[in-house]
Chain A
Amino acid sequence: MLAATSVPPQLGLDRLLPELIVAGTGFAAIVTELLLPAGRRAVASGLTAFLGLAIALIVLLTATPTGLALSVHAPARVGGVVQDVLVTGWLSDAFSIYVRGTVLVTGMLLLLLSMRYLQRMDRGHGEMTALLLFALLGVMLVSGVQDLLSFFVCLELVTIMAYVLAAFRRNDSRSTEAGLKYLVVGAVSTALLLLGIAFVYGHAGSLSFEAVAATLARGEMSVFLGLGLVLVLVGLLFKVGGVPFHVWIPDVYQGAPTPVTAFLATASKAAGLVLLLRFGTIAFVAGGVAWVPILAVIATATLLFGSLGALGQRNIKRMMGYSGIGHAGYLLMGITAMASAEIAGRAADGPPTAILFYLLAYALTGLTAFAVIVLVAGASGGEHGGRAWRGLWKRSPFLAVAMLLALLSLAGVPPMSGFFAKFLVLKALVDQGLTPLAFLGAGAVIVGLYFYFVWMKEMYFKEPDPELDAGPIHVPLSSRLALIAGMIGMVGMGVFMGPFHTWAEQAAAALLATAR
């Protein structure tokens, strides 16, 4: 690896074509707001964005080559030794293609479910879609970053767009509160993340992942390096919503506009986890930080807090917030299994496969649930409490069935996708000898069943609230499409899990291969 090899710099912009399309669509969405009359803006900007994401998805799956883009190899000082390393670049491999595919599907469903919401807004349609697209662009970009600087900037793209989106309904005090809380907590987490990156850079002498990995692989450690890595983990835990960095979740989920909550619960969380996976392939080495106990404690606390906190919730968005913390707990358990495997030097595809499968399954399930929430709240005067859900079965059987499937999948009942996602995580834990954690995860499923069933009871066994305007709920075409796609996805990923699992497995193998 000494400076003998010289790799020419790669431009390779065709590897970033889907991202360029998404960015361009974002600019187009802003223009629709300026050019079109007020009545057409909502549909036009939403449709433009949807088509842009669809084209990007087609391009991603058919015409995106793998390999490096914008890469620079250069001699870098790695712990006192000069090596030729990949200083910066963007890697398009099976892992990043899986993540980008998940993000694009998430984005398309998000836009479909936002359409109704956009139509009800009196202003800022183009801005909202553009900000959403930029945030999705950020999540796509984090999947391929190869250095700490791009890592930070791409993650901030997601976060800063989310601050604005959370506060978007500025006349609503809940939304402004959500935006402000998210901003303050997010700023602290960003500061810690940046401090961590500075410490890692200070020790490794390079921002490149390859150089940091080489430094760690040689067994070089210092308190500063360990501290830096732990601070990076803390910064990512904020994004994922792991205990004790979860405090913002219930309030922000409740206050933010529902499509934004859906974004935070799915794509934004995925950004944190994708970076945790990349970070894990570098940082989880023997002889350094005691990752397994740290992560096991955090994952356990997150799972317990999410499951127990969701028990008494009477507001559906708040309940989804706590349930989201619970799901973050399962995902962090997957990360714990990965740390255990990496530190022991076992090349195990299992944990990353489970996490990637979980991310796609959770995105489809969560988006279906949020699509129903948008419609039910819209038909009940913005009410998110239990009484809006009473007798949903009588008001709209279609919505009631969709929500039932989503709640069953969230709870992890077979044959839904959520069951196999949880199963894969628990299996990975057992494979890595972390059986107590697996038992805990299985126990939390039972608690989850209870609090999801409370909402099913409201929907199916209670009469509609006479105080609310409890007529039938109109389901517009866009939401109908989103719900049908979501339901097919949830059931399909459960019943025909083979192809999805293989795809996730290939992505996981590619992720682990880059680290070696």
Chain B
Amino acid sequence: MATQVLYILFGGMALGAALLAVTRKNPVASAIWLVVMFFGLAATYVVMEAFFVGAIQILVYAGAIMVLFLFVIMLLDLRQQMLEGKPTTRLRFFGVLAALLFLVVGVVALGDAKDRGLLHRAVTPLPREADIVAANPDATSLVDLPLDGTAGAIADEMFTRWVLPFEVASVILLGAILGAVILTKRRLT
């Protein structure tokens, strides 16, 4: 029960912050709300016992990526030119229409999933840490324990089962680095 309350609390916080991030006119305010959203998301991961992913979420997104965003905003000095000019009536009309359609589809899909009992499927609960420790009396350190949500569990999945997408992602990153250099470096000779 407590986890559900926490989940709704942090999930709501992430949703609200995301809404504020896209509606603010000042880019700096948007960026700050985005940070709040990242923290909310990290907290929901922790509530779901994915501690490692939660920590990475804060380190990578709230840390590295947000700093990058703020740098760009500051270097371009975007505060001077806040999003001026009002959207045209037609743009507003289609925006509202798209949002309404999305809402209708979402409500229909959720109702349908509820009718089919998809929302309350039996999910095997994750074993509690205390139980795992009790089941492995010989283990001398945490590394030896088959804990879920830890770096070990993630590494296990990533380097065995999902090794192909992992390696392909590394080629994507190499290409992205090449692209960043070629498109932005001032002089290459």
Contacts and interface: CB of A to CB of B under 8 A. Distances in A.
B172 A157 contact: yes
B121 to A, nearest CB: 7
A75 B178 CA distance: 40
Contact of B109 (A88, A152, A161, A224): A224
A216 to B, nearest CB: 15
A253 interface: no
Contacts of A224: 109, 112-113, 118
Contact of A164 (B113, B116, B163, B183): B183
B162 A124 contact: no
Given A224-B112, A224-B118, A38 B189 contact: yes
Given A70-B164, A72-B160, A164-B178, A23 B183 contact: no
Contacts of B178: 30, 127, 130-131, 164
Contacts of A488: none
Contact of B105 (A149, A161, A227): A227
A65 to B, nearest CB: 17
B60 to A, nearest CB: 18
A170 interface: yes
Contacts of A137: 171
B125 to A, nearest CB: 14
B118 A153 contact: no
Contacts of B183: 164, 167-168, 170, 179
Nearest to A168: B182
Nearest to A27: B174
B174 to A, nearest CB: 8
A478 to B, nearest CB: 23
A123 B108 CA distance: 54
Interface in B166-189: 168-169, 171-172, 174-176, 178-179, 181-183, 188-189
Contact of A80 (B121, B164, B188): B121
What's the dominant secondary structure at chain B's contact region? helix
B172 A227 contact: no
Contacts of A223: 105, 108-109, 112-113
A87 B161 contact: yes
Nearest to A11: B163
A141 B164 CA distance: 10
A39 B182 CA distance: 18
A160 B172 contact: yes
A328 B69 CA distance: 38
Contacts of A70: 163-164
B165 interface: yes
Contact of B161 (A72, A123, A124): A72
A131 B175 contact: yes
A455 interface: no
A27 to B, nearest CB: 8
B29 to A, nearest CB: 23
Count chain A CB atoms within 10 A of each CB in B160, B162, B164, B171 and give the residue with the most.
B164
Contact of B171 (A122, A123, A134): A134
A150 B164 contact: yes
B161 A141 contact: no
Interface in A443-483: none
A150 B172 CA distance: 13
B172 A153 contact: yes
Nearest to A199: B109
A150 B101 CA distance: 31
Nearest to A135: B175
Contacts of B165: 149-150, 152-154
A131 B172 CA distance: 10
Contact of A160 (B109, B116, B121, B175): B175
A21 to B, nearest CB: 14
A222 B113 contact: yes
A390 interface: no
A422 interface: no
22 contacts: A23-B171, A70-B163, A74-B161, A88-B161, A123-B189, A124-B182, A127-B178, A149-B162, A150-B168, A153-B169, A153-B172, A157-B172, A160-B175, A161-B172, A161-B179, A164-B179, A170-B182, A222-B112, A222-B113, A222-B116, A223-B113, A227-B105
Interface of A: 23, 26, 30, 38, 70, 72, 74, 80, 87-88, 90, 122-124, 127, 130-131, 134, 137-138, 141, 149-150, 152-154, 156-157, 160-161, 163-164, 167-168, 170, 179, 203, 205, 222-224, 227
Given A157-B168, A157-B172, 13 more contacts: A38-B189, A88-B162, A123-B189, A124-B182, A127-B178, A131-B179, A134-B174, A161-B172, A163-B179, A164-B182, A168-B182, A222-B112, A223-B112
